[in-house]
Amino acid sequence: MGESVELPSRLGILPFRNKVLLPGAIIRIRCTSPSSVKLVEQELWQKEEKGLIGILPVRDAAETTSVGPVLSSGLGPDMGLGERNPKSQIGVSDAQKIDGKNQQEVIQWHTRGVAARALHLSRGVEKPSGRVTYIVVLEGLCRFNVQELSTRGTYYTARITSLDKTKPEMELVEQDPDFIALSLQFKASAMDLISVLEQKQKTGGRTKVLLETVPVHKLADIFVASFEISFEEQLSMLDSVDIKVRLSKATELVNRHLQSIRVAEKITQKVEGQLSKSQKEFLLRQQMRAIKEELGDNDDDEDDVSALEKKMQNAGMPANIWKHAQRELRRLKKMQPQQPGYNSSRVYLELLADLPWQTASEEHELDLKAAKERLDSDHYGLVKVKQRIIEYLAVRKLKPDARGPVLCFVGPPGVGKTSLASSIASALGRKFVRISLGGVKDEADIRGHRRTYIGSMPGRLIDGLKKVAVCNPVMLLDEIDKTGSDVRGDPASALLEVLDPEQNKTFNDHYLNVPYDLSKVIFVATANKAQPIPPPLLDRMEVIELPGYTPEEKLRIAMRHLIPRVLDQHGLSSDFLQIPEAMVKLIIERYTREAGVRNLERNLASLARAAAVRVAEQGHVVPLSKDVHQLSSPLLESRLGESAEVEMEVISMGDNHEISSDFRINSSMIVDESMLEKVLGPPRFDDKETAERVAAPGISVGLVWTAFGGEVQFVEATSMAGKGDLHLTGQLGDVIKESAQIALTWVRARATDLKLASAKETNLLDGRDVHIHFPAGAIPKDGPSAGVTLVTALVSLFTHTRVRSDTAMTGEMTLRGLVLPVGGVKDKVLAAHRYGIKRVILPERNLKDLVEVPSAVLTSMEILPAKRMEDVLEHAFEGGCPWRQTSKL
Ligand code: ADP
């Protein structure tokens, strides 16, 4: 390749349409047209020595706008500067035949071509026609310039001059520093390209040898010939007769090629990176499946789906629901596990399969006597409540499908509402499920979310039924009074449907989307107060009130029920820990002040825990010392050191009674007052609280009704210099604020009568403001029953007389001073009793409510009826109303 070629002055010309053969390039062509066949035959085939032909690019006339004359003027003798006029063309207005066809269109010949020799020739004869064809492999050798183009027979010949440099010319060029620089630059680029290509194709370094052996100007052609570049670019390369120009052009093209390879590589890498993650996962899954199949272990999704199907078949769904479920199952089967929606569809079907459509606890013949015994053994007292439950059960026995009212236990926390409901369940031999409705504001909590929402779930009822797995449980709707409505719908209306026997046969949970029959469920509800329950809902229920316990009742409950249970839960027995009655009484009086027995149970649990620590520790110490009681337990001491009340944390020991039996040998531990103080801290309440708080004029003791049962509520009033304004604090609602207004107005109106002001000074508020505060400022308060208490506080303030500390009161008051009845009397009286209050002033019309108060409480208290406000004042102050004698009222 390195040798220079002697060119003849004339060459047979093979036109290349829109194509360029560059020196150093090899091309295989098939010659079929008569002219080219003739050319090949005469110039190559028949020549003894290797013949040469000229390859001249021609351009379709359609590709250009200007057609030059034959041998255009651009053709000059200085062809070395051909690039100055690269577009020099020989225009041939051709009516002659090219390729044996009548070429009517104008074709343009390029003025420069490349001489080529045949590396391989093969001749063929087409069969029926006998037409001769040639397949020629040509190698481009060197550039030439066309001086004159003429035809010889059927093909063209041209008079040509070589454009290659002679040896001395070449030597001269090689010394040119520009050439040296350019060739180095080209070689560097070429090297880069080769490395990239070799790296891509993982071939050895054979191409690099080329760079060492082939002269650089020829290399430039060889490289460019291998690129896919446009015809124009090929022509311009052909026209680059000047070696420096050729090198710089080739360098540019090599760099461009390199760049495009790199960009393409980057893109593929990126795409591959993106694809590979999911593809990899897919491949791995396929492989996993194949491996499992191979192991005979292909239990996954398909098996799961068939297990699900089996479960669904056994679920006993009603026919229409079974149809719906099957439709959904068919959809699931068509889905890929990775497909979105697969999981939600599956979870849904699982729910359908898990729901107890027919499974029911077997209802045995109800034995009322046994039920009564059971209720009695579980609960102390509550005679009326238990009686009502027995009646309820009796009706169910006689008419199992009777649509009796829903029982609703109303009362403060810890009075046994939940445990009564669970006793009903066990009396009926049914399963028990508790649904907490406290704080439910969203209707979807009851009815579920539609499955179109992401993360949708069934409502609490359906969820509870799924958990309990029978369709006829006793379902406790706990804290039904704590549901509220807001923008997310009204849970109460959904509950209404649940409790309505007409509608609950086809209860519609949005998630489930098929009707579910709730009619076999026995509903029991609990509430702290009946008043917040929406009336339509309350109408469906029969309210059974549990007002709270007297201290005596609490004592009995503790001795009979709570202590044995607490000991049992802590793995102890009465052999080890004894809590005497007197101590329980102390706990009730000094450590709890509640309507129920929850805190009492917590405190007992604290004692049991402390005892359990001692038992567990003694296990290690006993063998060393016989004096067990003298042992101080470091753990217990530190526990006892805490004065704060111990919070409830009952750690159930289940049936594990080992600890107690192991230590039965030790004599039992009896709780005494000092242990109480050590474990429970100093007493939290005492009887003196009211006396201490009512020490100054302007303070009175009221009785209010809260969610926790009755409570004692102090009212404080004070006055200071001001403009006659009334200030109220303590998170008060509108009703209680109005009561304060009424109270103040009433007192002001009676200022002279009550001798609160002198006859001249008619305005009680002259130059002063009044401030009324309801302590425990963090707790919101409302209601009308503080009316009489407010007046009493104000009268006490203005007369500078203290209210009796042993007297509490409740009652609404009219503007004219009449005392109206209020609700929750029983709870209020019990609360007063808990606070050690001896006298309670009640509206006269409330006296009838006292029948519900345990007689033990009533006998220990003085109940003072009041018709008018003056009666209240008469009872509230020591020695009666101080102005009674002079009052004209
Ligand atoms: P509520 O549901 O009213 O808040 P619970 O039913 O949870 O109260 O009762 C709290 C605890 O007090 C339970 O352990 C319960 O057994 C017990 N308890 C309440 N009242 C009695 C009672 N009359 N006899 C026996 N135990 C009772």
pLDDT at 434: 92
Q: Residue 841 — φ and ψ, nearest 5°?
A: -90, 125
Query: Is 708 in a helix, a strand, or coil?
Result: coil
- Of the chain, the percentage scoring pLDDT greater than 70 comes to 83
Mutate to test the pocket of ligand 1, among 380, 561, 566 (most ligand atoms within 8 A of CB): 561
Q: How far is the CA of 613 from the centre of ligand 1 (A)?
A: 26
pLDDT at 496: 85
Q: Write down the catalytic residue from 785, 796, 805, 826.
A: 785
As a whole number, mean pLDDT of residues 573-586 equals 86
| Distance of alpha carbon 767 from alpha carbon 806, whole angstroms | 34
* Higher-confidence position of 286 and 869: 869
Q: How far is the CA of 417 from the centre of ligand 1 (A)?
A: 6
DSSP class of residue 597 equals S
- Helices in 443-516 by DSSP H: which ranges? 443-447, 460-468, 491-499
Mutate to test the pocket of ligand 1, among 419, 474, 546 (most ligand atoms within 8 A of CB): 419
Q: How far is the CA of 520 from the centre of ligand 1 (A)?
A: 27
Q: How far is the CA of 561 from the centre of ligand 1 (A)?
A: 9
pLDDT at 562: 92
The listed range with the strongest mean pLDDT (428-432, 661-665, 684-688, 850-854) is: 428-432
Mutate to test the pocket of ligand 1, among 415, 434, 563, 601 (most ligand atoms within 8 A of CB): 415
Distances (CA, A) of 761 to 757, 796, 881: 6, 19, 22
Residue nearest to atom 10 of ligand 1 (CA): 414
pLDDT at 649: 37
pLDDT at 502: 80
- Total Cβ atoms within 10 A of residue 113: 29
In a 10 Å sphere around its CB, with 0-12 CB exposed, 13-18 middle and 19+ buried, how is residue 397 labelled?
Answer: middle
| Distance of alpha carbon 213 from alpha carbon 224, whole angstroms | 17
442 DSSP β-pair partners: none
| Distance of alpha carbon 7 from alpha carbon 11, whole angstroms | 8
pLDDT at 766 over 80: no
Category of 526 on φ-ψ map: left (φ > 0), alpha (ψ -120 to 50) or beta: beta
Instruction: State pLDDT tens for residues 377-415.
Output: 889 888 888 998 898 888 888 877 767 788 999 988 899
Please answer whether residues 162 and 142 qualify as being in contact, where contact means their C-beta atoms are separated by less than 8 angstroms. Answer: yes
Q: Write down the catalytic residue from 218, 781, 826, 828.
A: 828
Please answer whether residues 526 and 483 qualify as being in contact, where contact means their C-beta atoms are separated by less than 8 angstroms. Answer: no
Placement of tokens 């020829």 in the chain: 218
The residues, ordered by sequence, that sit 6+ positions from 399 with a Cβ below 8 Å of its Cβ are none
pLDDT at 432 over 90: yes
| Distance of alpha carbon 761 from alpha carbon 757, whole angstroms | 6
Q: How far is the CA of 427 from the centre of ligand 1 (A)?
A: 17
Q: How confident is the model at residue 835 (pLDDT cuts 50, 70, 90)?
A: confident
| Ligand 1, CB within 6 Å, residue ranges | 379-382, 413-419, 526, 557, 561, 596-598, 601
Please answer whether residues 554 and 501 qualify as being in contact, where contact means their C-beta atoms are separated by less than 8 angstroms. Answer: no
Q: What is the pTM of this model?
A: 0.59
Q: How confident is the model at residue 685 (pLDDT cuts 50, 70, 90)?
A: confident
Residue nearest to atom 19 of ligand 1 (CA): 416
| Distance of alpha carbon 634 from alpha carbon 263, whole angstroms | 76
Assigned token pair, 713: 């509520």
Please answer whether residues 13 and 36 qualify as being in contact, where contact means their C-beta atoms are separated by less than 8 angstroms. Answer: no
Please answer whether residues 193 and 226 qualify as being in contact, where contact means their C-beta atoms are separated by less than 8 angstroms. Answer: no
Strand ranges for 672-792 from DSSP E: 699-706, 709-721, 726-729, 768-773
Please answer whether residues 797 and 698 qualify as being in contact, where contact means their C-beta atoms are separated by less than 8 angstroms. Answer: yes
Mutate to test the pocket of ligand 1, among 417, 566, 597 (most ligand atoms within 8 A of CB): 597
Q: How far is the CA of 425 from the centre of ligand 1 (A)?
A: 15
| Distance of alpha carbon 372 from alpha carbon 376, whole angstroms | 6
As a whole number, mean pLDDT of residues 348-370 equals 84
H or E stretch including 101?
A: strand 101-102
- Side chain identity at 566, as an amino acid letter? V
Residue 19 annotated among the catalytic residues of the structure: no
Residue 785 annotated among the catalytic residues of the structure: yes
Residue nearest to atom 25 of ligand 1 (CA): 379
pLDDT at 487: 65
| Distance of alpha carbon 230 from alpha carbon 248, whole angstroms | 18
> What is the total residue count of the chain?
889
Ligand 1 atom nearest to CA at 411: 3
pLDDT at 97: 39
pLDDT at 576: 82
As a whole number, mean pLDDT of residues 301-310 equals 78
Ligand 1 atom nearest to CA at 560: 25
| Distance of alpha carbon 727 from alpha carbon 804, whole angstroms | 25
Ligand 1 atom nearest to CA at 562: 26
Residue nearest to atom 6 of ligand 1 (CA): 416
| Distance of alpha carbon 616 from alpha carbon 101, whole angstroms | 116
| Distance of alpha carbon 814 from alpha carbon 868, whole angstroms | 9
Is the Cα dihedral 87, 88, 91, 97 positive or negative?
Answer: negative
Mean pLDDT, the chain, rounded, equals 79
Percentages helix, strand, coil for the chain (3-state, rounded to 5) are: 45, 20, 35
Q: How far is the CA of 550 from the centre of ligand 1 (A)?
A: 14
Q: How far is the CA of 416 from the centre of ligand 1 (A)?
A: 3
Residue nearest to atom 22 of ligand 1 (CA): 379
For the chain, the distance separating the N- and C-terminal CA atoms, rounded to the nearest angstrom, is: 140
Ligand 1 atom nearest to CA at 526: 2
Q: Residue 302 — φ and ψ, nearest 5°?
A: -60, -40
Q: How confident is the model at residue 100 (pLDDT cuts 50, 70, 90)?
A: very low
Ligand 1 atom nearest to CA at 420: 6
Beta strands at 709-721 and 699-706: parallel, antiparallel or unpaired = antiparallel
Ligand 1 atom nearest to CA at 379: 24
pLDDT at 54: 92
H or E stretch including 433?
A: strand 432-436
pLDDT at 297: 62
Please answer whether residues 464 and 437 qualify as being in contact, where contact means their C-beta atoms are separated by less than 8 angstroms. Answer: no
Instruction: State pLDDT tens for residues 469-504.
Output: 998 899 999 988 888 766 667 788 888 888 888 888
